[in-house]
Amino acid sequence: MLYISLVPAFAVLLAAKYAATPAPERVRWGLFVPVGLGAFCLPVVMLMVFPVIVWLAGLLLLALAAWPLIRRRVSNFWPVGITAALVAYGIASWSAYRDLREENRLREAYPLVSMAARVPEPRPEPIADERALAWLSTHEDPLAGGFGWRESQLRRLHTRTTDAFVNSDGFGVARMPGRITEHELKPPERPEVPPQPGSPALWPHGEAFELSPAPAREQFAKMHRHGLGDFAFREGWGYRQDRDRVAGFLSHRFSKVPTTETWTVHRIELVGLLKHAAPKVYLSDKLPAMDDLRGAPTRPLDAFETAGLVAIRKGEEGFAAQRPDVVRYLGAIRSAKQCVECHGGQRGDLLGAFAYTLRR
């Protein structure tokens, strides 16, 4: 923008020089006005505005108005014109410098941080079978979208350095993304993490349960997909350079209680596979939110969860069991290709599971 702005700047300067006649002639406003206007209009036509030209034209206008007085002391308009240009570019540079300082501050407020330090890679397991991979491919497409403004501004913040000065808004505002503002980087608003709606059902080892029929399983699978989308929260991933450099990541968490047509969710617990030597269920009186679960107490898996984990490790999407008044569902959380960016490992790896308790 700095370089492009030099063209209209030079045009207005020449027009002002032409208008600044020697005494006793009158100032030739006739040319300056259309060229000055043109210098304004041209950028507008190009969908840009150059604040620096606005300053320059304004200063030249003042100089020309005073020209009949000034020309008694100086014979040539150039020193006056060039001073005006220096002042205009000085103001624009100051504003560019302020932008740079603000961007440095934002880079510190939204730094690149390592995900590897926060979450271990999934353990290599016998890679999920074809059913699981087929399921994944239908689920990673929706994740490919949702690439928002916040993410692209975070990317700009961490990738541009050399062009930040010359492309500052002070020299020109293109319709392309201009200044990066704090407001754009702020996390999107979301409801608080809901409390667990009801009590858990634990099925001790040795206790029998019955598997749910297929149509019911489909209903629970749908609920699980919605729940997982809410928990992983695509809009909160921020800008990901690689597993060691991520800016603006918002920890996964639920923001609403998932629903089904006939059953109500009483409990959702996260079965963690990554952080402990053996699988553990995180305990919390809220729906799973990673900020809460860091350092939360855990319990070992019960009979249902143990059986469910065996099933999803074989490639099932979920495992459902029931008793007259209670249904339990274990839904697999597999790494889609987008999750691999932060989690490492491979697409299809098991990152964990949600254990749902549902009642009529």
**Counting beta carbons within 10 angstroms of the beta carbon of residue 144, is it exposed (0 to 12), middle (13 to 18) or buried (19 or more)?**
exposed
Give the residue among 291, 303, 273 at the shortest CA–CA distance from 202: 303
Which one of residues 60, 351, 355, 358 is an interface residue with ligand HEC (CB under 6 A)? 351
The CB-of-258 to ligand HEC minimum distance in angstroms stands at 15
Contacts of ligand HEC in 195-254 (CB under 6 A):
232, 237-238, 240, 246, 249, 251-252
Contacts of ligand HEC in 5-44 (CB under 6 A):
none
> What number of other Cβ atoms are within 10 A of residue 62's Cβ?
11
The CB-of-46 to ligand HEC minimum distance in angstroms stands at 38
Which one of residues 341, 344, 346, 347 is an interface residue with ligand HEC (CB under 6 A)? 341
Binding mask 263-282 for ligand HEC (x = CB under 6 A): ---------xxxx-------
Give the residue among 224, 263, 266 at the shortest CA–CA distance from 353: 224
Give the residue among 263, 171, 275 at the shortest CA–CA distance from 223: 263
Q: Is 343 in the site for ligand HEC (CB under 6 A)?
A: yes
Which one of residues 339, 350, 355, 358 is an interface residue with ligand HEC (CB under 6 A)? 339
- Give the tokens for residue 135: 């399921």
Cis preceding linkage at 24, omega within 30: yes
Give the residue among 316, 314, 308 at the shortest CA–CA distance from 356: 308
The CB-of-352 to ligand HEC minimum distance in angstroms stands at 4
Choose between 227 and 238: whose C-beta lies nearer to ligand HEC.
238
The CB-of-288 to ligand HEC minimum distance in angstroms stands at 8
Q: Is 303 in the site for ligand HEC (CB under 6 A)?
A: no
10 CB-near residues (< 8 Å, 6+ apart): none
Residue type, 145: G
Which one of residues 201, 342, 355, 358 is an interface residue with ligand HEC (CB under 6 A)? 342
170 CB-near residues (< 8 Å, 6+ apart): 51, 52, 91, 92, 93, 94, 95, 96, 99
Contacts of ligand HEC in 142-181 (CB under 6 A):
143
Give the residue among 289, 252, 287 at the shortest CA–CA distance from 267: 287
Which one of residues 39, 333, 350, 358 is an interface residue with ligand HEC (CB under 6 A)? 333
Residues near ligand HEC (CB under 6 A): 115, 118-119, 143, 232, 237-238, 240, 246, 249, 251-252, 272-275, 290, 333, 336, 338-339, 341-343, 351-352
